């Protein structure tokens, strides 16, 4: 059977399954949050969030011309009953892709990487293990148009016991068929940025985070952004939880950590073009987005700039489950609605 036809059939099968799941196991907290009256203030909405199944929440709001505001509710640590700390470090998960895209942009502008370079130019030894390796370009990977299977979607991947290193993660997709032919479709895949990070390390000859630190973070005064868990005091990290599980998942290393303020300052600078010269800005415009969400076990994050109100909103929630994903997004959307109402009315 044709691969595309098979994918279409599977998608059609999954639609009624998803609908039945929603009917039988509805995300009630998210639904009730969505339909409840909109509070007048962000403070009220943040306090309400912890009554909807979230352990702790941090919200950073930066509106041009106004003092920066940070709102918190719930707990930083269940066991010690510590209140949520606005200065706590948080695992930002896929928000880190924005940082990687900035580094890639600068390396492209410097001529160290070309967007048309093929994956096989950097990893010829993987030919035969990754489908279409000779056709997949750097640009396709950064735009999630490569067709590379997502290693975190593989059956062997476990969020509570992630692979020990990048190589072990990559091996999960060896000999796995591509999701589609390169540049034919869009599909979000963590494998793209896993490989992009390795390509950047290879080109630089050292870890790309060190380049990020020197070229971007230090000039912007972002000194509370870190590459990995081993670089920080774990007591400064917000505890991360899964609904119904007593233990926390703070000691699992999922990459970059930062405070809400550091992420907010980064998002503001990214959208204002502070990181780039004119050519770099044009490159970045062509390859990636200017805000992002993140999810790893125990941690959900959202960070966007809202142009109509000239406001950056960053939200950290230290509780995950199928239900809390909806709640977290609804809370964020409602906070933005409150800000719009208060700023534009």
The tens digit of pLDDT for each residue in 1-55 reads 554 454 445 445 444 544 444 444 455 555 656 567 789 999 999 999 999 999 9
The predicted structure's pLDDT at residue 32? 54
Structure tokens at 167: 């190589």
pLDDT of 177 strictly over 50: yes
- What is the maximal distance between C-alpha atoms in the chain? 60
CB-neighbour burial class of residue 322 (10 A; exposed 0-12, middle 13-18, buried 19+): exposed
- Identify the weakest region by mean pLDDT among 2-16, 157-171, 254-268, 275-289: 2-16
Per the domain annotation, does 275 fall within a domain? Answer: yes
Per the domain annotation, does 27 fall within a domain? Answer: no
The predicted structure's pLDDT at residue 24? 47
Per the domain annotation, does 1 fall within a domain? Answer: no
Per the domain annotation, does 12 fall within a domain? Answer: no
The predicted structure's pLDDT at residue 17? 44
Q: For strand 319-320 and strand 241-242, is the pairing parallel, antiparallel, or unpaired?
A: parallel
Per the domain annotation, does 285 fall within a domain? Answer: yes
What CATH number corresponds to the domain at position 294?
3.40.710.10
- Convert the chain into a string of H (helix), E (strand) and C (coil): CCHHHHHHHHHHHHHHHHHHHHHHCCCHHHHHHHHCCCCCCHHHHHHHHHHHCCCEEEEEEEECCCCCEEEEEEEEECCCCEECCCCCEEECHHHHHHHHHHHHHHHHHCCCCCCCCEHHHHCHHHECCECCCCCCEHHHHHCCCCCCCCHHHCCCCCCCCCCCCHHHHHHCCCCCCCCCCCCCCCCCCHHHHHHHHHHHHHHHCCCHHHHHHHHHHCCCCCCCEECCHHHCCHHHECCCEECCCCCCCCCCCCCCEECHHHHHHHHHHHHHCCCCCHHHHHHHHHHCCCCEEEEECCEEEEEEEEHHHCEEEEEEECEECHHHHHHHHHHHHHHHHHHHHHHHC
Per the domain annotation, does 239 fall within a domain? Answer: yes
d(C-alpha 303, C-alpha 294), whole Å: 9
pLDDT of 135 strictly over 60: yes
Region of 258 please: left (phi>0), alpha (psi -120 to 50) or beta: beta
Structural domain containing residue 318: 41-344
Query: How many Cβ atoms from other residues are within 10 Å of residue 260's Cβ?
Result: 28
Measure CA 115 to chain center.
22
Confidence (pTM): 0.90
Please tell me the total count of domains within the chain.
1
> Is the CB of residue 90 less than 8 Å from the CB of residue 299?
yes
- Mean pLDDT score of the chain, rounded to an integer? 92
> Is the CB of residue 219 less than 8 Å from the CB of residue 188?
no
CA-based torsion, 15, 142, 102, 235: positive or negative = positive
> Is the CB of residue 320 less than 8 Å from the CB of residue 243?
yes
Per the domain annotation, does 16 fall within a domain? Answer: no
Per-residue confidence band for 345, with pLDDT thresholds at 50, 70 and 90:
confident
Per the domain annotation, does 14 fall within a domain? Answer: no
CA-based torsion, 114, 191, 178, 204: positive or negative = positive
């Amino acid at each position: 059977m044709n691969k595309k036809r098979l994918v279409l059939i599977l998608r059609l099968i999954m639609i009624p399954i998803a609908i039945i799941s929603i009917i039988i196991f509805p995300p009630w907290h998210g639904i009730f949050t969505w339909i409840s009256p909109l509070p007048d203030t962000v403070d009220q909405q943040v306090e309400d969030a912890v009554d909807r199944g979230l352990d702790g929440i941090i919200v950073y709001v930066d509106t041009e011309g106004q003092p920066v505001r940070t709102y918190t509710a719930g707990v930083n640590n269940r066991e010690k009953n510590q209140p949520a700390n606005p200065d706590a470090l948080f695992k930002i998960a896929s928000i880190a892709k924005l940082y990687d895209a900035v580094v890639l942009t600068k390396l492209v502008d410097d001529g160290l990487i070309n967007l048309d370079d093929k994956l096989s130019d950097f990893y010829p030894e993987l030919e035969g293990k990754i489908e279409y390796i000779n056709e997949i370009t750097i640009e396709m990977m950064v735009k999630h148009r490569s067709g590379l299977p997502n290693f975190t979607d593989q059956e062997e991947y476990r969020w509570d016991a992630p692979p020990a290193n990048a190589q072990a993660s990559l091996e999960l997709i060896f000999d796995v068929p591509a999701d589609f032919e390169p540049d034919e479709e869009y599909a979000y895949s963590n494998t793209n940025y896993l490989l992009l990070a390795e390509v950047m390390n290879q080109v630089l000859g050292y870890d790309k985070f060190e380049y990020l630190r020197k070229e971007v973070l230090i000039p912007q005064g972002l000194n509370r952004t870190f590459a990995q868990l081993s670089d920080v005091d774990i007591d400064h990290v917000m505890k991360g939880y899964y609904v119904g599980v007593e233990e926390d998942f703070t000691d699992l290393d999922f990459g970059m950590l930062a405070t809400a303020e550091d992420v907010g300052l980064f998002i503001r600078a990214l959208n204002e073009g502070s990181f780039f010269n004119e050519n770099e800005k044009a490159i970045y415009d062509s390859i990636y987005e200017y805000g992002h969400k993140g999810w790893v076990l125990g941690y959900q994050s959202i960070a966007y700039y809202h142009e109509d109100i000239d406001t950056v909103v960053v939200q950290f929630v230290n509780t995950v489950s199928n239900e809390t994903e909806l709640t977290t997004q609804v809370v964020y959307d409602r906070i933005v609605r409150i800000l719009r109402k208060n700023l534009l009315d």
